Amino acid sequence: MNVLVIGAGLSGLSAALHLRGQGHQVTVLERAAVPGGRSGRIERDGFTFDSGPTVFTMVDLLDQAFRAVGRRADDYLTMQLLDPAYRACFDDGSTLHVRHGVEAMRAEIARECGSVDAAAYEEFVVWLRKLYLAELPHFIDVNFDRPTDLLRNPVAAARLVALGGFERLGPAIERRFSDPRLHRIFSFQAMYAGLAPAQALALYAVITYMDSVEGVWFPEGGMRAVPDAMAQAAMDAGVAFHYGATVDRITCAQGRATGVLLTGGERLNADAVVCTLDLPVAYEELLPEVPTPRVAARGRYSPSCVVWHLGVKGAPPPEAAHHNIHFGQQWHDAFDDLLRRGRPMADPSRFVAVPSLHDRDAAPEGCTSLYVLEPTPNLEVGRLDWPSEGPRLRERMLTDLQRWGYPTDIVTEELVTPQDWLAQGMAAGTPFALAHTFRQTGPFRAKNVDKRVKGLVFAGSSTTPGVGIPMVLISGKLAARRVAEMTR
């Protein structure tokens, strides 16, 4: 089959590699000049910033995409394990490091939180691993056609229930540990799913397993090196890439996708099309005659964020890790600000990455690159004036960076707000897509096929299985499976 893939982000590149591995003729259309999509880059004044995700976990899922075309990820990419994965800083001045390896993390907890919580950690890891083994092959790495597909493997479903996967994440963590700092370290990942820990299902503890147990990695050359490597492997395997190619419309005839129409008038025909745009945007811009599915048109979206890219003179504080989380004093109330009140957190928790610690191209000699992220309401929940709110949050972040000891002699900077995410094609102004509520998970999430348009498949964070690098890599693989089903 001749397959067109719209978008050279991680999901599109994953789809292209898996499709090529199945023997299809594959062409990737990317409107930018380089691969990456949301995992992009900003080059300015001698600094190079990764504009997308900064935390990479589950490298074996990346390797699966390379192996689809008979290659290995380490043929193209060098990955470094980060230990600690995170440095967690608390309002009382204390610090906890999320260490790689059960023994190392147990020792860290024993030293900072006591022997009881240290012993509880070993049982916690066993629980996380059981959840992961029950979920990944049966409920994540699968295509769903209908809700009853949840019962395709009744043994796995019963096991997930028995493990407490449908309880709430926050209480499940609190029941296992007494130190409130551990509650935050092992539940903040619910934000990746667009939910407060008190609301998220415990089955999303698999995200905690991915980074806190399996480990966090960083590629040599920065996060942008990942899409570069995937694109090179795809080209080596025979995939064609057209950069600077903006798709104006997906063409259809008699209820079937027939190809695309590019801006400028060029028409490309195909037997199948894989589209990786944010789902509501894909329907609105590329399929204007096909109504957007309800779950995408009226779904609940994850909170958004402000990201501040900073190029500064000077070195980071010696205690800084690659990934740093600075928790505010408030916790539950901060989520109410984001999810219910629609306003910035009164007492924010922030993520600060220092990519130049492990990426020599990120900053010139004697300088540091910083990536500061503060969660904010999305544009549907919050009605904020971002031209004025963005600079206000910037000043607040600057004050705190100085208080925490980071260098702030600014050479260059870029502030990205929810309004900017919207302009980049992200529905509701959030890079985190549809939230993972129960009604937007698994078979209830926006599907990666639409029976009204045969030959069209979707991939990316808005569809199955969801948000985050591991999930969008799987999403590309699931899209390739859908195309394979068309040939049967």
Q: Does residue 421 belong to any structural domain of this protein?
A: yes
Alpha-carbon distance 59 to 322, whole Å? 18
Helix (H) / strand (E) containing 6: strand 2-6
Q: Say what the pLDDT of residue 487 is.
A: 79
Whether 364 and 441 map to the same domain: the answer is no
- List, in order, residues 6 or more apart from 44 with CB less than 8 Å away: 311, 412, 414
Alpha-carbon distance 432 to 377, whole Å? 11
Whether 306 and 423 map to the same domain: the answer is yes
Q: In the listed set 427, 444, 468, which residue is the last one of a domain according to the structure?
A: 427
Q: Does residue 45 belong to any structural domain of this protein?
A: no
Whether 343 and 402 map to the same domain: the answer is yes
Q: Say what the pLDDT of residue 438 is.
A: 87
Question: Could you tell me how far CA 469 lies from the centroid of its own chain?
Answer: 5
Whether 251 and 360 map to the same domain: the answer is no
| 3-class secondary-structure state, position 446 | coil
CA dihedral of 339, 341, 342, 344, whole degrees rounded to 10: -90
| 3-class secondary-structure state, position 295 | helix
- List, in order, residues 6 or more apart from 488 with CB less than 8 Å away: none
Q: Does residue 128 belong to any structural domain of this protein?
A: yes
Q: Does residue 147 belong to any structural domain of this protein?
A: yes
Q: Does residue 94 belong to any structural domain of this protein?
A: no
Question: Could you tell me how far CA 364 lies from the centroid of its own chain?
Answer: 28
Whether 20 and 125 map to the same domain: the answer is no
Q: Does residue 87 belong to any structural domain of this protein?
A: no
DSSP bridge partners of 30: 243
Q: Say what the pLDDT of residue 331 is.
A: 86
Task: Classify strands 86-89 and 79-82 as parallel, antiparallel or unpaired.
Answer: unpaired
CATH number at residue 460: 3.50.50.60
CA distances from 473 to 72, 447, 482 (A): 15, 16, 15
Residue 165 backbone dihedrals phi, psi, to 5 degrees: -65, -20
| pTM across the whole model | 0.96
Q: What is the arrangement of strands in the sheet containing 267-269, beginning at the earlier edge strand?
A: 247-253, 256-262, 267-269
Q: How many CB atoms lie within 10 A of CB 348?
A: 21
Helix (H) / strand (E) containing 483: helix 469-486
Helix (H) / strand (E) containing 410: strand 409-416
Alpha-carbon distance 216 to 83, whole Å? 8
Count, residues in the chain: 488
Whether 307 and 292 map to the same domain: the answer is no
Alpha-carbon distance 85 to 358, whole Å? 13
Whether 287 and 231 map to the same domain: the answer is yes
Alpha-carbon distance 414 to 309, whole Å? 5
Q: Does residue 89 belong to any structural domain of this protein?
A: no
Whether 200 and 258 map to the same domain: the answer is no
Whether 283 and 330 map to the same domain: the answer is no
Whether 276 and 245 map to the same domain: the answer is yes
Q: Does residue 131 belong to any structural domain of this protein?
A: yes
Q: How many CB atoms lie within 10 A of CB 78?
A: 12
Whether 352 and 318 map to the same domain: the answer is yes
- List, in order, residues 6 or more apart from 439 with CB less than 8 Å away: 295
- List, in order, residues 6 or more apart from 62 with CB less than 8 Å away: 73, 77, 226, 230, 473
Question: Could you tell me how far CA 51 lies from the centroid of its own chain?
Answer: 12
Give the residue numbers spanning the domain of 380.
302-427
Note down pLDDT in tens along the chain; length 488 residues.
999 999 999 999 999 999 999 999 999 999 999 999 999 999 999 999 999 999 999 999 999 999 999 999 999 999 999 999 999 999 999 999 999 999 999 999 999 999 999 999 999 999 999 999 999 999 999 999 888 888 888 999 999 999 999 999 999 999 999 999 999 999 998 887 888 999 999 999 999 999 999 999 999 999 999 999 999 999 999 999 999 999 999 999 999 999 999 999 999 999 999 999 999 999 999 999 999 999 888 899 999 999 999 999 999 999 999 999 999 998 888 889 998 899 999 999 999 999 999 999 999 999 999 999 999 999 999 889 999 999 999 999 999 999 999 999 999 999 999 999 999 999 999 999 999 988 899 999 999 999 999 999 999 999 999 999 999 999 999 999 999 999 77
Q: In the listed set 190, 211, 232, which residue is the last one of a domain according to the structure?
A: 211
- Read off the DSSP letter of residue 168: B
Whether 295 and 442 map to the same domain: the answer is yes
Largest pairwise CA distance in the chain:
68
The total of structural domains in the chain comes to 3
| 3-class secondary-structure state, position 218 | strand
Q: In the listed set 408, 427, 446, which residue is the last one of a domain according to the structure?
A: 427
